Structure 1
């Protein structure tokens, strides 16, 4: 990663044009080729940027900045171009910092309570779905993607479970497609559906119930075995 703090002006030329006047900013060049221009506000959002695949050329021969003047000797010109021919032209002067750092491979963000955790916990505590439920398989493969959980109900019926952190209409539609496909298999049919999430939007619940899909609100802390600190009457 390369960090440059300098006074600069920026012009974007592409599907539209945009101009940032002279000011001190942070220029961020990542190993994936992306270039972004940051001010000391707006949290993580850059003022302008170019995402990969793109190419940075510093002080290209015979290049002119957006105002049509030749680049003075005490200035630099960066031209970042993507496959569509769009350009981010950054004219730089008064450089205060220009440093490069090797960060290595990032392991990624690990979130607590993501869908994979909910799936694992619900598979472990499959009785949450109802008395007599047993797990057939996690990530049951189909031609259109894996079903989160395939279970057997107490009466022997097959149950497909779709798990989301926040249940919306798209999740119900996804489960509907799984059910249509699974019900074509005579070894599984009839297959019922359960839409399980920590939060289920009212529109999603209405659609699910209209399609005969049962909704189940999951308590993540309870699945993890953590007692709630809230006072209850019963």
Structure 2
């Protein structure tokens, strides 16, 4: 990745035309060919950019532009759309190259798969006497996260989310309607489990006879130190 801090103006021509007047900006040139123009504001969002596949060329500066203070002209052309990003450099304040290597990608902590695995291992969190039948119980419209049985031997379908909203309740409702048609499973009770359940989702779930269960991810991983609590 090349990082350039420069006084520059920027012009974009394509489906839309845009102009950024002369100012000091950060220019990011990535190894995938993309070029991004950033200011010291607007958080992560670039002011303008060109996504790959694109090509960067440096044009000669004519006398008129040189007289206006332009020292370099970067022309970034998109290979498929012919969109054009022109960066007129007046002064380069910083220019550095960095080899970042291959990025492993974002690894989320506490994703639904982790919650599913932990709840399957700690199925007693559903209630005393519950036993696990299987994870990812397949139905005609997709897999239910966990199929269990309660202390009386009745089927329990569990849908797990990180943040439980109305869509999750609707999803579990569809599973329950389908599973309750199976005489080998019916009657099937529903449990909507999440780290956080929105109030509207809780109201809808309870109205449909679905039990809500809030999951404490740290406690399930054994990271909750009750000795360190004030209360």
TM-score by length of 1: 0.79
**Residue 225 of structure 2 aligns with which residue?**
227
2:5 pairs with 1:5:
yes
Q: CA RMSD in A?
A: 3.1
Deviation at 1:83, TM superposition (A): 4.6
Deviation at 1:85, TM superposition (A): 5.3
Deviation at 1:179, TM superposition (A): 2.5
2:179 pairs with 1:182:
yes
CA distance in 1, matches of 2:127, 2:143: 22
2:56 pairs with 1:57:
yes
Deviation at 1:126, TM superposition (A): 0.7
Contact residue 180 and residue 188 of structure 2 kept, 8 A = yes
**Residue 157 of structure 2 aligns with which residue?**
160
CA distance in 1, matches of 2:80, 2:187: 50
CA distance in 1, matches of 2:94, 2:77: 20
Query: Could you list the runs of 5+ residues in structure 2 that have no partner in the other structure?
Result: none
2:114 pairs with 1:124:
no
Matches within 5 A, 1:10-159: 10-52=10-52, 54-59=53-58, 74-81=71-78, 83=80, 86-159=83-156
2:205 aligned to 205, 208, 211, which one? 208
Deviation at 1:216, TM superposition (A): 0.9
CA distance in 1, matches of 2:114, 2:36: 34
CA displacement 1:107-152 (0-9 Å, x = unmatched):
2333433323222221111100111111122233345443222212
Deviation at 1:211, TM superposition (A): 2.1
CA distance in 1, matches of 2:8, 2:157: 57
Identify the range of structure 1 (84-93 vs 5-14) with the bigger mean alpha-carbon deviation: 84-93
